[in-house]
Amino acid sequence: MNPRFPIYVISKGRWESRLTVKALLARKIPHRIVIEPQEFDQYAAVIDPETILTLPFRNLGKGSIPARNWVWEHSISEGHARHWILDDNMRDFYRLHENKKWRTTDGASFRAIEDFACRYENVALAGMQYELFTPRRAKCQPVRFNTRIYSCILILNRIPYRWRGRYNEDTDLSLRALKHGWVTVLTNAFLCDKQPTLKMKGGNTDELYKGDGRLKMAQSLQEQHPDVVKIGRRWGRWQHVVDYRPFKRNKLIKKPGVAIPDGPNEYGMKLVKLGESNNPPQLPLQPGPCLPSENSAALPAPSENLSEPRAKHKGAASKPQL
């Protein structure tokens, strides 16, 4: 099962690693990668050129903001009601089940998030939690509402905002939506394994984060949202700290005519041990309700199966940006 909305991976200087692209290809999930024109030859040498979108600008010194806004308008021009925008440094996707992280093998997790968001009038942003933030011994709800959405984001195209600034663009976009009563949906049931900021070459590492970039990032967000943002030291570095408590009152508004079926919908997912025969489930599968105005054509794909759980890491890990 594939997503119904387009997936864009924004990338710069990472044609060698291309972690997110590899993860999507392994799951046969349709996607496109968005790059600057001076890097086309390097990416085209290792990626199908048909999946490459080339930006009409280069090296603007504004981080990923121009590329993100270009993607937004591109998805609108194709007639989509929503779009996915993914960072280029995610190496895997998981389903959290019984506090174990099971690696997924197709796009059903994306589709499940889409169907949930499409039930409601006011879900501005939805996405997957970082795998690092769901320890196996911790209890967590399958969905967390009205908080930041990072790195793997489903965006409602009609919200009256665009990406802005130079730093912390995902936190800023989340906060602007929340302050106007929109709802954000962060899934703990579905996770993305994003590499920690500053741990990979390419991207915005050299352009934004060098020197006192961390402090500048925190100060920038505080200037944008002084009512809910403070600056502190976390994990040995400057970090913004956001108070999301004022947004608990933001409530979901179900769309007229949407009937939510009783019982779970596994979207074809099943647990499979490595080496087992990987037979598809019996069809038909029933995706969640979604109004026609938010339906984009979805391509057929093999049913999703879950492989062996992710091995538990030993030792402390660097935390991604909060």
Whether 242 is covered by a domain: the verdict is yes
Q: Are residues 228 and 88 in the same domain?
A: no
Whether 251 is covered by a domain: the verdict is no
**Which stretches of 108-169 are assigned E, i.e. beta strand?**
123-130, 143-145, 152-156
In the predicted structure, residue 80 carries a pLDDT above the cut 50: yes
pLDDT at 296: 47
pLDDT at 276: 59
Whether 142 is covered by a domain: the verdict is yes
Q: Are residues 183 and 229 in the same domain?
A: no
Whether 73 is covered by a domain: the verdict is yes
Whether 144 is covered by a domain: the verdict is yes
In this structure, what CATH number is given to the domain that contains residue 57?
3.90.550
In the predicted structure, residue 71 carries a pLDDT above the cut 70: yes
Which H or E element spans position 22?
helix 19-26
What is the pLDDT confidence band of residue 205, given thresholds at 50, 70 and 90?
low
> In the chain, how many domains are there?
2
pLDDT at 292: 47
Whether 254 is covered by a domain: the verdict is no
Q: Which residues contact 155 (CB under 8 A, 6 or more apart)?
A: 72, 82, 83, 84, 85, 124, 125
Cis ω on the peptide bond leading into residue 292 (within 30° of 0)?
Answer: no
pLDDT at 134: 92
Q: Are residues 81 and 215 in the same domain?
A: no
Whether 233 is covered by a domain: the verdict is yes
243-301 confidence digits (pLDDT tens): 999 999 999 999 999 999 899 899 999 998 876 555 544 333 344 444 445 754 443 33
Q: β-strands 143-145, 52-54: how paired?
A: unpaired
- Calculate what percentage of the chain has a pLDDT beyond 90: 67
Q: Are residues 186 and 127 in the same domain?
A: yes
What is the pLDDT confidence band of residue 130, given thresholds at 50, 70 and 90?
very high
30-39 confidence digits (pLDDT tens): 999 999 999 9
pLDDT at 204: 58
Q: Are residues 66 and 175 in the same domain?
A: yes
Whether 257 is covered by a domain: the verdict is no
147-191 confidence digits (pLDDT tens): 999 999 999 999 999 999 988 999 999 999 999 999 999 999 999
Q: Are residues 27 and 171 in the same domain?
A: yes
Q: Are residues 129 and 227 in the same domain?
A: no
Q: Are residues 155 and 225 in the same domain?
A: no
pLDDT at 215: 84
More confident residue, 213 or 99: 99
Q: Are residues 238 and 271 in the same domain?
A: no
Q: Which residue range forms the structural domain that includes residue 224? A: 211-246
In the predicted structure, residue 121 carries a pLDDT above the cut 70: yes
Q: Are residues 134 and 237 in the same domain?
A: no
pLDDT at 210: 59
DSSP string, 243-312: --GGGTT----BPTT--PPSS---TT--B--TTS--PPPPSPP-PPP--GGG-------PPP-EEEEPPP
Q: Are residues 162 and 226 in the same domain?
A: no
Q: Are residues 157 and 289 in the same domain?
A: yes
- Residue 219 CB: number of other CB atoms within 10 A? 16
